[in-house]
């Protein structure tokens, strides 16, 4: 009798293809969901739709041309990509970067972090249905893009750094504009908080959703806010300072529960910490050149090096091998934070509902250009 | 003959056109209000301040290609938008725009029951659309719509019982007249019921924060994913017409319908020179504005959370409200 009724109410799992064309997969991510009702039983994460072979391309370009290609990986945070690459080559070549250049690089990287987080906040909130936050966040991102445009002429792919320093000094008056932006951003973060932080629906949609323990996060290789959300104190800016981060005072926000809400709070706090760093860097901006002594023809001696920075999305590392003879790298490999964080999507999503899937894609903050490269 | 057939028909034609026009302007209002909330301008290109956008949108929908998916159930696929549109329009028959018989099509003695039953049919349109599309996202949306329906319908109906108890009638006209006699709008006597009906109304019309059946971020448009052209437009017509219906019902039940403020204060009798329908429309406008404002502000609930709110919060409160109303009514 029991088997008979089981056969009568035969249940079947529904295979739902989400993406690559889907409004909430933040690019061309494809998820093959196996659903029981609306509950996710399993998910296959399929990627590679924007694979452009950037690593291979880089192996066939000379050292300066590569900077331009790194822009195209995490295209919403091009400046940090530039920074990571330039610092790696500088490490390989043992080039000294002038202090002023290091300061300006820090300012650019932190502005970039705010811009990237603005994009994250807007899309994440939009995925959960709060559409006004999206436009508010983009309004502020626009101000940062204006600052970048004034600095280097580009708004998205900046190509803003060079091996050994910076191509340009900041234009006169730029630092005042950056300060003014910091003041605006301070109040705008409060505005976002007002709309979301204590909003009952927001809490219900994010609290306890996508919980991951610190140990799991480490073993999955998560980095950036998803790792810190699980109470793991790891930030390359503090642990292995680069650029001028060792000269500034700032805190690394750490979560406690490892859920979507914690990751949201961490990124909001990072807005404030970034503003704090930018203010300190602008106040203490040293005089001097912005370009170090670098040979005309870059030809690092044979060797290999790995260097990581904290991009807005997590630990962005470059592994570069030079054979010492050619004017291009022998091997070029990127450790992209989005790719590593995407590993965490499957364990996060299983057991949740379809509505949570889009919230979880948002919370790990992936950029598919960087995942696929 | 003239009174039973001709004049009602004229009223129906006028009313239908009025609803159509208000729906088109409702879409414009929504776009404008949300744009202002988001520090944008909204439509500005078609006509002065974009007012003609209200006509450009339906015109665009009508000229677009109307696609029926190859594997869809063609009859049901065609029927679904009609099924969601017709009930939304039929309900207007019992909405009184004034105390004079000139201002309503029909005053049936079970008006409120009629509204509850007819508006529930509209959800079948969504469920059928999801089912007939033979596509996975609409199917999930259809399931959500049916889950949503049973969650809020009971609570709303329960709540309306307490209003019926207060008014002592089911007729929409008499409910307003009861408020005139009582000298106070029922919104002040039944504030809990008002909030419940408002929440239920948001769920009924699939408005944020309860717009799960059409959550574009999760289900890529939900039940109307496979619809295009004017058939898609019919769903939108239905959604906005439903919003207007809910606003009208809320105003009639709780905010005195066509009555002026302080209906019992003689000193304000001057306000009676303003036509009754203007009072009704301006109150409805405030409710509609509230709907749009909510959409611009709040994130979306998950459908299991809506069901939890419906069953564990709204229904107990609604039942308690009915009991309290009944007890008070008996004691007084």
Residue whose token pair is 């508006």: B119
Chain A residues near residue B219 by CB distance under 8 angstroms:
354
First to last CA, chain A: 56
Q: Residue B140 is nearest to which of A17, A354, A356, comparing CB atoms?
A: A354
B57 touches chain A (CB under 8 A): no
Decide: A20 and A358 in contact? Cβ < 8 Å.
no
Chain A residue at shortest CA distance from B208: A129
The span from the CA of B320 to the CA of A264, in Å, is 38
Decide: A317 and A307 in contact? Cβ < 8 Å.
yes
Chain B residue at shortest CA distance from A35: B140
The span from the CA of B165 to the CA of B322, in Å, is 8
Helix (H) or strand (E) segment spanning residue A206:
helix A200-206
Q: How far is B42 from chain A (nearest CA, A)?
A: 12
What size, in residues, is chain A? 373
Q: How many helices (H) and strands (E) does chain B have?
A: 13, 0
Contact between A355 and B303 using a beta-carbon 8 Å cutoff:
yes
Decide: B179 and B262 in contact? Cβ < 8 Å.
no
Note the ipTM here.
0.80
Chain A residues near residue B37 by CB distance under 8 angstroms:
132
Q: What angle do CA A132, A137, A139 make, to 5 degrees?
A: 100
Decide: B237 and B224 in contact? Cβ < 8 Å.
no
pLDDT of A129 = 82
Task: Convert the pLDDT of each residue in A189-229 to its tens digit.
Answer: 988 888 888 888 888 888 888 888 888 889 988 888 988 88
Q: What is the percent of chain B where pLDDT is above 90?
A: 2
Contact between B299 and A132 using a beta-carbon 8 Å cutoff:
no
Task: Convert the pLDDT of each residue in B195-245 to its tens digit.
Answer: 888 888 888 887 778 777 776 666 776 777 888 888 888 888 888 888 888
Confidence at B58, pLDDT banded by 50, 70, 90: confident
B226 touches chain A (CB under 8 A): no
Task: Convert the pLDDT of each residue in B123-166 to its tens digit.
Answer: 888 888 888 888 888 888 888 888 888 888 888 888 888 888 88
Decide: A107 and A281 in contact? Cβ < 8 Å.
yes
Decide: B239 and B206 in contact? Cβ < 8 Å.
yes
The span from the CA of A100 to the CA of B128, in Å, is 66
Judged by CB atoms within 8 Å, which residues 171-190 of A form the interface with B?
Answer: none
Non-local (6+) Cβ contacts of B40 within 8 A are A135
Chain B residue at shortest CA distance from A199: B298
Average pLDDT over residues B153-182: 84
Contact between B218 and A130 using a beta-carbon 8 Å cutoff:
no
Supply the DSSP symbol for A155.
S
Residue whose token pair is 């009724």: A5
pLDDT of B217 = 67
B205: Cα separation from own chain's centroid: 6
In Å, what is the CA distance from B316 to each residue of A173, A304, B197? 63, 69, 14
List the structure tokens of B190: 């039944």
List the structure tokens of B219: 């289900």
In Å, what is the CA distance from A203 to each residue of A227, B80, B207? 20, 36, 20
Chain A residues near residue B298 by CB distance under 8 angstroms:
129-130, 199, 201
The dihedral sign for the CA sequence A29, A35, A40, A44: negative
pLDDT of A114 = 92
Decide: A276 and A114 in contact? Cβ < 8 Å.
no
Q: Is A95 left (phi over 0), alpha (psi -120 to 50) or beta?
A: beta
The whole-model pTM stands at: 0.84
pLDDT of A5 = 53
Chain A residue at shortest CA distance from B138: A16
> Exposure of B256 by Cβ count < 10 A (0-12 exposed, 13-18 middle, 19+ buried)?
buried
Decide: A141 and A118 in contact? Cβ < 8 Å.
yes
List the structure tokens of B193: 């019921």
Judged by CB atoms within 8 Å, which residues 107-166 of B form the interface with A?
Answer: 136-137, 140, 143-144
The span from the CA of B279 to the CA of A305, in Å, is 76
Contact between B299 and A356 using a beta-carbon 8 Å cutoff:
no
The dihedral sign for the CA sequence A91, A95, A96, A102: negative
SS3 content of chain A, % helix, strand, coil (to 5): 50, 15, 35
Q: Name the pairing type of β-strands A30-36 and A14-18.
A: antiparallel
The whole domain housing B220 covers 2-331
Supply the DSSP symbol for B260.
P
The dihedral sign for the CA sequence B141, B143, B145, B148: negative
The span from the CA of A136 to the CA of A122, in Å, is 8
Helix (H) or strand (E) segment spanning residue A275:
helix A260-283
Average pLDDT over residues B163-173: 85
Domain ranges of chain A: 3-208+284-372
Contact between A16 and B38 using a beta-carbon 8 Å cutoff:
no
- The b-or-e profile of A256-274 (16+ CB within 10 A means b, else e) is ebbbbbbbbbbbbbbbbbb
3-state secondary structure (DSSP) of residue A369: helix
Chain B residue at shortest CA distance from A26: B217
Per-residue pLDDT of chain A (373 residues; tens, 9 = 90+): 445 555 566 677 888 888 788 777 777 888 888 888 788 888 888 888 888 888 888 888 888 888 888 888 888 888 899 999 998 988 888 888 898 998 999 999 999 999 999 999 988 888 888 888 888 999 899 999 999 999 888 888 888 888 888 888 888 888 899 999 999 998 889 888 888 888 888 888 888 888 888 888 899 888 889 888 888 888 888 888 888 888 888 888 888 888 899 999 999 999 999 999 999 999 988 888 888 888 887 878 888 899 999 989 988 999 999 888 878 888 889 998 989 888 888 888 888 888 888 888 888 888 888 888 8
Q: Which CATH superfamily hosts domain A3-208+284-372?
A: Cytochrome-c3 Hydrogenase, chain B (1.10.645.10)
**Tally of domains in chain B:** 1
List the structure tokens of A71: 């822009």
Confidence at B267, pLDDT banded by 50, 70, 90: low
């Amino acid at each position: 009798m029991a088997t008979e009724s089981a056969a009568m109410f035969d249940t079947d799992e529904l295979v739902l293809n989400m993406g690559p064309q889907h409004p909430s997969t933040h690019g061309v991510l494809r998820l093959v969901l196996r659903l029981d009702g609306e509950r996710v039983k399993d998910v296959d994460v399929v990627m590679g739709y924007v694979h452009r072979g950037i690593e291979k391309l880089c192996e066939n370009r000379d050292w300066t041309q590569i900077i331009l290609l790194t822009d195209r990986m995490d295209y919403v945070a091009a400046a940090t990509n530039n920074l990571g690459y330039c610092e790696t080559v500088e490490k390989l070549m043992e080039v000294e970067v002038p202090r002023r250049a290091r300061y300006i690089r820090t300012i650019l990287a932190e502005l970039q972090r705010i811009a990237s987080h603005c994009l994250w906040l807007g899309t994440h909130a939009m995925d959960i249905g709060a559409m006004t936050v999206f436009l508010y966040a983009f309004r502020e991102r626009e101000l940062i893009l204006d600052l970048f445009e004034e600095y280097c002429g580009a708004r998205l792919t900046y190509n803003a750094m060079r091996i050994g320093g910076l191509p340009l000094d900041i234009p006169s008056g730029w630092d005042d504009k950056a300060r003014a932006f910091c003041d605006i951003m301070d109040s705008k973060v409060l505005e976002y908080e007002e709309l979301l932080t204590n909003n009952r629906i927001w809490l219900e949609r994010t609290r306890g959703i996508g919980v991951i323990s610190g140990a799991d996060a480490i073993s999955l290789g998560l980095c950036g806010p998803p790792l810190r959300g699980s109470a793991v104190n790891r930030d390359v800016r503090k642990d292995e300072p680069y650029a001028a981060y060792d000269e500034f005072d700032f805190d690394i926000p750490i979560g406690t529960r490892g859920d979507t809400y914690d990751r949201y709070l961490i990124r909001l706090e990072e807005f404030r910490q970034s503003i704090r760093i930018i203010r300190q860097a602008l106040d203490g901006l040293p005089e001097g050149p912005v370009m170090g002594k670098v040979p005309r023809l870059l030809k690092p001696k044979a060797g290999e090096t790995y260097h990581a920075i904290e991009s807005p999305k997590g630990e962005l590392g470059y592994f570069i091998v030079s054979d010492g003879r050619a004017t291009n790298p022998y091997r070029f490999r990127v450790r992209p934070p989005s790719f590593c964080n995407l590993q965490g999507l499957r364990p996060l999503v299983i057991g949740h509902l379809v509505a949570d899937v889009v919230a979880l894609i948002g919370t790990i903050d992936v950029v598919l250009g960087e995942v696929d490269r | 003959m003239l009174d039973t057939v001709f004049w009602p028909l004229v009223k129906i034609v006028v009313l239908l056109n009025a609803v159509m026009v208000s729906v088109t302007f409702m879409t414009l209002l929504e776009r404008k209000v949300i744009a202002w909330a988001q520090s944008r301008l909204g439509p500005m290109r078609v006509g002065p301040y974009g007012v003609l956008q209200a006509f450009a949108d339906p015109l665009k929908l009508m000229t677009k290609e109307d696609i029926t998916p190859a594997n869809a159930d063609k009859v049901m696929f065609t029927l679904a938008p009609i099924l969601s549109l017709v009930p939304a329009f039929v309900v207007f028959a019992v909405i009184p725009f004034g105390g004079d018989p000139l201002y309503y099509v029909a005053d049936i003695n079970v008006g409120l029951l009629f509204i509850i039953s007819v508006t529930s049919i509209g959800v079948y349109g969504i469920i059928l659309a999801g089912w007939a599309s033979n596509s996975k996202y609409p199917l999930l949306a259809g399931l959500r719509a049916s889950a949503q329906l049973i969650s809020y319908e009971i609570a709303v109906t329960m709540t309306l019982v307490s209003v019926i108890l207060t008014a002592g009638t089911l007729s929409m006209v008499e409910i307003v007249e009861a408020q005139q006699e009582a000298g106070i709008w029922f919104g002040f006597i039944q504030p809990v019921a008002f909030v419940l009906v408002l929440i239920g109304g948001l769920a009924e019309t699939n408005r944020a924060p309860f717009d799960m059946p059409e959550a574009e971020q999760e289900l890529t448009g939900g039940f109307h994913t496979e619809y295009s052209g004017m058939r898609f437009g019919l769903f939108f017509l239905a959604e906005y017409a439903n919003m207007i219906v809910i606003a009208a019902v809320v105003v009639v039940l709780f905010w005195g319908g066509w009555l002026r403020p302080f209906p019992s204060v003689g000193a304000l009798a001057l306000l009676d020179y303003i036509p009754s329908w203007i009072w009704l429309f301006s109150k409805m406008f405030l409710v509609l504005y509230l709907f749009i404002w909510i959409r611009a502000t709040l994130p979306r609930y998950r459908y299991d959370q809506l069901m939890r709110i419906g069953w564990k919060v709204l229904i107990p409160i609604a039942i308690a409200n009915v009991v309290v109303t009944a007890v008070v009514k008996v004691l007084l």
